[in-house]
Amino acid sequence: RQAQEGALQPVLARPKFSNMHGIMQGFFAKLEEEPAGYDVHRQECEPAREGEQADLPPMGLSGPGPGDRTGGPTRNDFPTVPLGFSFRRPLRLGPRAQFHVRLTSQASAEKESAHDAASAEGTLDGPSAALEEPMYAVAVYFPLLAVIIPRWLHIFGNGCEGKRHVYLLSGYGEPVNREHEEDANSTEFLAKAMAVFLSRTYSYCTPILLNSGSGLFKHESNMIFIHKTLRPMMNKQRRDIVEQYGEDWPAHFHVTFALGDGPHARMAQLTSGLREYRPDLLHMWQLKTFWHYRHLRFGDVDIEPFVHKDSTPSEPVRDMPADIQALVGEMALYKREFEQSVTTGDSELSSFWLRKTGKPVLSVLMVRTAGGAVKFYRGINLEVSMPTGSLCSERNAIGNALSSETHLARRNFEMIGVLSLPDIRSYVNVPEARESRGDNPIAPCGSCMEWLRKIAGATPDFRIINFTDLSLEHAFVRSVAAFGHV
């Protein structure tokens, strides 16, 4: 910032929302006009607490690009990560009034904050000389990207041989102040500057820019943008992966949703519209660590797998009611007996009954008779390559129950547990594959859900039990209605 003595006083500044478009447009023009006029600025990134360092990205993240080489160990053995750009010549910007500012000393910062508040409330007497002073940019920082990108690459990108795409979504909303330009709060050029940063620092990541235009604060506008622009592009990439990998495409397609802050309408529609892709979540829960303390911390990012952020979260089975624990116990017994059977080599399941996909799904149905006795009935999916099609494990279990107890009514059905196992051929060829998660939690298909809805019509408390993994230690307990329309 230009001080009265003519010297530049270092400060941290961020554009006010109503000045975002013009300021970031100037930054982006600088990056385009002088590609050699700036250097990548790096900074240490700290763990959130003692003992968390083992979870930090290693030196040199996975990938072929030189941008991932973030330097050797520092005095604290914290990795350094790309933070932004340092300009070789200061870039003159607009007046101080267009920015929120933090000075280096806390007392000065508090004074500036009070000045900001007075300016926003219109309580300043006449124009302030300080607010009219010009600002000069010597660097531009992206602290959220600086933490999220290495975290993402370390957790989801290690060993990944495919492409890594980063979608940068921008837009603008109708300003409350009619004196402001319609697109004054647009984040379009902020996204473009971020794309330059990613291309320069992580050359193996491809940024994709999508600008929704106006309507950022409106649900309908965001819904149209997501379903007519964002999803079609993601679907195109998914089709390309299917074309390349065939039925193994799910192992090569993964979506991560990074949440920081933003309009409720945008966040709600993204959360809803991307659900089909089962995205894992990187949530930047602490947004201003760098602003207040000049620090970067990997602990500011929460990692939430898709299976854990369901509207009904998983719970430890040991804390569940006795009837659910009994069903899980029966499922554990069924799983052990199934594994013993297929590993002997005498079963035709892999060679005939499951030869289409090789993926067994086990179901256990709990019924309570009129006399109060609890009984369990088992089912397994059968996928014979014939025009008659396949039989899912849920419907198989229901059929087994009714064929054994023809007097059963729908009100006798209490719950059904469903467990996906690894490829059946791995039990013989690759035994360690049994430690994988399978496709859990696995939801009933459309046909099974129709059957279960009919049962729930007479027994609204009927529950579906799914599992997070093969340990059966955590489970989801949901009603049929919680699945919506499958």
Q: CA dihedral defined by 29, 34, 36, 39, rounded to 10 degrees?
A: -40
- pLDDT given at position 225: 94
Q: What is the mean pLDDT of the chain?
A: 81
Report the pLDDT value the prediction gives residue 272, as an integer from 0 to 100. Answer: 80
**Which pLDDT tens digit goes with each residue over 11-25?**
889 999 889 999 999
Determine the Cα–Cα distance for residues 426 and 430; give it in Å rounded to an integer.
4
Most confident of 92-106, 292-306, 309-323, 451-465: 451-465
* pLDDT more than 90, % of the chain: 37
Report which of residues 307 and 151 the model is more confident about: 151
Beta strands in 402-462 (DSSP E): 413-420
Residue 124: pLDDT band with limits 50, 70, 90: very low
Confidence class for position 62, pLDDT limits 50, 70, 90:
very low
Q: Which two tokens stand for residue 41?
A: 């600025």
CA torsion angle for 472, 477, 481, 485 (degrees, to 10)?
-20
Whether residue 315 contacts residue 474, with contact meaning beta carbons closer than 8 Å, is answered with: yes
Which of 326-330, 335-339, 381-385, 390-394 bottoms out in mean pLDDT, i.e. has the lowest? 381-385
| pTM for this entry | 0.63
Tokens for 392? 């899912």
Type of residue found at 458: A
pLDDT in tens, 131-146: 788 888 888 999 999 9
Separation between Cα atoms, residue 455 and residue 474, nearest integer Å: 25
pLDDT over 80 (residue 382):
yes
